[in-house]
Structure 1
Amino acid sequence: MHKRTIILTGGGTAGHVSLNQALIPEITGMDYDVEYIGSKDGIEKELIVDSFPDIKYHAISSGKLRRYFSMKNFTDPFKVVAGLGQSMNIIRKTKPAAIFSKGGFVSVPVAMAGKLMGIPVIIHESDVTPGLANKIAMPFADHIFTVFKETMQHVPKEKSTCTGSVIRSELMDGSAAKGREICHFDNDLPVLMIMGGSQGSEVINTAIRSNLQVILETFNVIHLCGKGNIDEKLEGMDQYCQFEYVTHELSHLLHMTDFVVSRAGSNSIFEFLALKKPMLLIPLSRQKSRGDQILNAELFRKNGFALVLEEEEATPERFLKALEQLKADEELLIEKMTDAEPPKTAYEMAKLVVAHTKKR
């Protein structure tokens, strides 16, 4: 007897893929097959194909709705229509028991196709307010899961549940010793990790590198600087280790980390919370985003889990002062994080997804 299949979708950024990465082994362990629908050249293709070579990856056309004027706003709807047709063909062949969507614009035609073909569509929203792609897809969803309780004000309550955060199990199994082997740190200074997102952040990269000599007097530094942002002149320094992006190594690097500077994407900040890492958040500005990271960061600041430095204020001088404050507030931040509600495991989330599958 053939296994039933669950289709996962989501992409555009690593944040729209990481939960799906965590769910794949849990869902397959529940005797389901998993197939993935993503874009042809998005980061999701690289992350899924590299991590799960046995998972069938379907690439579809994917448009994007921009909040600013662009000629592509006139052509991308045709890509969405093409993606809808491609998704319907995939669903027709796969006959999935459910579709789980993590968001991003590639997920919109997939959710629409699922609704049209009578397949349960489950959406996961990890930010305080839904992104545009999820807003468009929500009418086609059978159920919506949220991370923040505050999000329930922005979604149809009759078909929504707040589950809290979900943390990948392998994240908790990292080894600080392996992390030190990767970075070759051989002193007792605390470790500062800098994360600017999968594409990197010019503001954060500039702030850390402008102050690097001063910062290295206090910290060892792990710098995840984003694709194409490696500074060759800084290679080989004893206390500074830079990467474009990491996947399997992340759990080891986080376990040896004492402090984090990061953007305020929901997935990442809840991982830091689960590991009780004092964090300085520099959210994307409203000029560069819809403001979701600002809301995420503000809630973490309100709950005493993080310090926040607005991007417009992140000059090298203010950045250095914020780092000094982060180190001074270490014990208080950890105390607040210790009292936080524990996250769900990927297994618990997978059970919720399976509970919404279409019965035979």
Structure 2
Amino acid sequence: MKKIVFTGGGSAGHVTPNLAIIPHLQEDNWDISYIGSHQGIEKTIIEKEGIPYYSISSGKLRRYFDLKNIKDPFLVMKGVMDAYVRIRKLKPDVIFSKGGFVSVPVVIGGWLNRVPVLLHESDMTPGLANKIALRFASKIFVTFEEAAKHLPKEKVIYTGSPVREEVLKGNPETGLAFLGFSRKKPVITIMGGSLGAKKINDTAREALPELLKKYQIVHLCGKGNLDESLQNKEGYRQFEYVHGELPDILAVTDFVISRAGSNAIFEFLTLQKPMVLIPLSKFASRGDQILNAESFERQGYASVLYEEDVTVKSLIKYVEELNQNNEKYKTALKKYNGKEAIQTIIQNISEA
């Protein structure tokens, strides 16, 4: 039986692509383990899946000054030792890393054990963890073709983003029933990430009187961001977040208004949903969402509304343009084959 160790954490985005790959390896009888941090979100997610989980020490990698920068390099070094010992015991045939600060000790520990390491980079430019890890990797899978120019060419394989099977299996009738919607108007799903996005939330709600004339709205507004005054608004449903219902909601969705995190927008792409993308500004991030969104716009999958340009008027205008050009967007979206991402990654894992 072949063995694999997965790693990646710090945020759900560094875990969910692993969850898209793992069931396919389970079908092929791989022995699967996961190495992550003691208290990271990955621990909660992976243990729910019943996959053996091993914790290691890890320090956060920061680009800015913080007193913790003095302590954290020592935690990373201890993490490398923890990972080295654990990998030596597990004896995997290959390690698959999705990035995040916890992955660096695991990648180095695997390299020291002479285990092949495969990385996956979600964004157009590598994050700090993958910048460090890539020198220890034998192959680097990229989500965006444009990302190749930032990485060693001999290691790069373009795959796109692996998408979880359950996301693709939503039932539109179940979605309509859950939402209490009808077929009479198109459905727009608005998402601002797990914590929500204040500007998107506020602007979308201000635009409701106009939007609800032509559309039904699903608003995933993030924890603590419900507006009680809108709970019974006809044609409008708001949730802090959804779990099992999300595939059914996406199945009935016609258009999406969203941030431009890589994993989410590739789910919309695979489901062929035209998008208005509102990326995090450079002031709030390293600019990766802006690059992601602009790539999708170039390929005809989405239109980009920059955060500083978000107003009620501009939001309504972009939604109307999306609706009017729906067929053009659909034609472009159909060119992408999301299933190839998992197939290519599985093949390379098997050959490692």
TM-score for both structures, normalised by structure 1? 0.91
Aligned-pair identity (%) = 49
Equivalent position SS for 1:167: coil
User: Quick check: 1:165 aligned with 2:167?
Assistant: no
| Match of residue 274 from structure 1 | 270
Measure, in 2, the Cα distance between the counterparts of 1:127 and 1:29. 29
Equivalent position SS for 1:11: coil
| Match of residue 153 from structure 1 | 149
Q: How does 1:241-260 map to 2 (within 5 A)?
A: 241-260=237-256
| Match of residue 311 from structure 1 | 307
Q: Which moved more, 1:152-161 or 1:221-230?
A: 221-230
110 and 231 in structure 1: CA distance in 2 versus 1, 3 angstrom threshold: farther
Q: Which moved more, 1:251-260 or 1:172-181?
A: 172-181
| Match of residue 81 from structure 2 | 85
Indicate if the aligned counterparts of 1:23 and 1:347 stay in contact, CA closer than 8 A.
no
Q: Which amino acid aligns with 1:113?
A: G
Indicate if the aligned counterparts of 1:14 and 1:198 stay in contact, CA closer than 8 A.
no
Q: Deviations over 1:25-84 (max 9, x none)?
A: 11111111211122233332232223x1x2112233332222332222222222222322
Measure, in 2, the Cα distance between the counterparts of 1:66 and 1:24. 30
| Match of residue 38 from structure 1 | 36
Equivalent position SS for 1:96: coil
Q: Which amino acid aligns with 1:283?
A: P
Deviation at 1:301, TM superposition (A): 0.8
Q: Deviations over 1:289-341 (max 9, x none)?
A: 11111111111111111110111212333223222222222222112222345
353 and 231 in structure 1: CA distance in 2 versus 1, 3 angstrom threshold: farther
40 and 233 in structure 1: CA distance in 2 versus 1, 3 angstrom threshold: farther
Which of the residues 80, 97, 101 maps onto 1:101?
Answer: 97
Which of the residues 103, 106, 113 maps onto 1:117?
Answer: 113
Indicate if the aligned counterparts of 2:187 and 2:215 stay in contact, CA closer than 8 A.
yes
Q: Which amino acid aligns with 1:291?
A: G
Equivalent position SS for 2:256: strand
Measure, in 1, the Cα distance between the counterparts of 2:43 and 2:63. 25
307 and 88 in structure 1: CA distance in 2 versus 1, 3 angstrom threshold: same
Indicate if the aligned counterparts of 1:99 and 1:120 stay in contact, CA closer than 8 A.
yes
Q: Which amino acid aligns with 2:41?
A: I
Q: How does 1:314-325 map to 2 (within 5 A)?
A: 314-325=310-321
Indicate if the aligned counterparts of 1:26 and 1:347 stay in contact, CA closer than 8 A.
no
User: Quick check: 1:127 aligned with 2:127?
Assistant: no
User: Quick check: 1:296 aligned with 2:296?
Assistant: no
Measure, in 2, the Cα distance between the counterparts of 1:237 and 1:77. 52
User: Quick check: 1:285 aligned with 2:281?
Assistant: yes
**C-alpha RMSD over aligned residues:** 2.0
355 and 325 in structure 1: CA distance in 2 versus 1, 3 angstrom threshold: same
327 and 130 in structure 1: CA distance in 2 versus 1, 3 angstrom threshold: same
Which of the residues 208, 220, 226 maps onto 1:212?
Answer: 208
Indicate if the aligned counterparts of 1:184 and 1:238 stay in contact, CA closer than 8 A.
no
Measure, in 2, the Cα distance between the counterparts of 1:25 and 1:59. 22
Equivalent position SS for 1:211: helix
Measure, in 1, the Cα distance between the counterparts of 2:72 and 2:185. 50
Measure, in 2, the Cα distance between the counterparts of 1:353 and 1:248. 29
| Match of residue 191 from structure 1 | 187
User: Quick check: 1:48 aligned with 2:18?
Assistant: no
Count of paired positions: 352
Q: Which moved more, 1:131-140 or 1:230-239?
A: 230-239
Measure, in 2, the Cα distance between the counterparts of 1:166 and 1:294. 21
| Match of residue 20 from structure 2 | 22
Indicate if the aligned counterparts of 1:185 and 1:238 stay in contact, CA closer than 8 A.
no
| Match of residue 11 from structure 1 | 9
Measure, in 2, the Cα distance between the counterparts of 1:354 and 1:304. 34
Which of the residues 134, 141, 150 maps onto 2:137?
Answer: 141
Deviation at 1:236, TM superposition (A): 4.2
Equivalent position SS for 1:58: strand
Q: Which moved more, 1:303-312 or 1:325-334?
A: 325-334
Q: Which amino acid aligns with 1:49?
A: E
Indicate if the aligned counterparts of 2:160 and 2:341 stay in contact, CA closer than 8 A.
no
Deviation at 1:12, TM superposition (A): 2.1
Indicate if the aligned counterparts of 2:222 and 2:240 stay in contact, CA closer than 8 A.
yes
Indicate if the aligned counterparts of 1:169 and 1:346 stay in contact, CA closer than 8 A.
no
55 and 257 in structure 1: CA distance in 2 versus 1, 3 angstrom threshold: same
Equivalent position SS for 1:64: coil
235 and 258 in structure 1: CA distance in 2 versus 1, 3 angstrom threshold: same
Q: Which moved more, 1:41-50 or 1:263-272?
A: 41-50
Deviation at 1:93, TM superposition (A): 2.2
Deviation at 1:155, TM superposition (A): 1.0
Measure, in 1, the Cα distance between the counterparts of 2:224 and 2:45. 17
Q: Which amino acid aligns with 1:92?
A: R
Measure, in 2, the Cα distance between the counterparts of 1:332 and 1:248. 31
| Match of residue 70 from structure 1 | 66
Measure, in 2, the Cα distance between the counterparts of 1:27 and 1:313. 44
Indicate if the aligned counterparts of 2:220 and 2:238 stay in contact, CA closer than 8 A.
yes
242 and 34 in structure 1: CA distance in 2 versus 1, 3 angstrom threshold: farther
Indicate if the aligned counterparts of 2:95 and 2:110 stay in contact, CA closer than 8 A.
yes
Q: Please, which runs of 5 or more residues in structure 2 have no aligned partner?
A: none
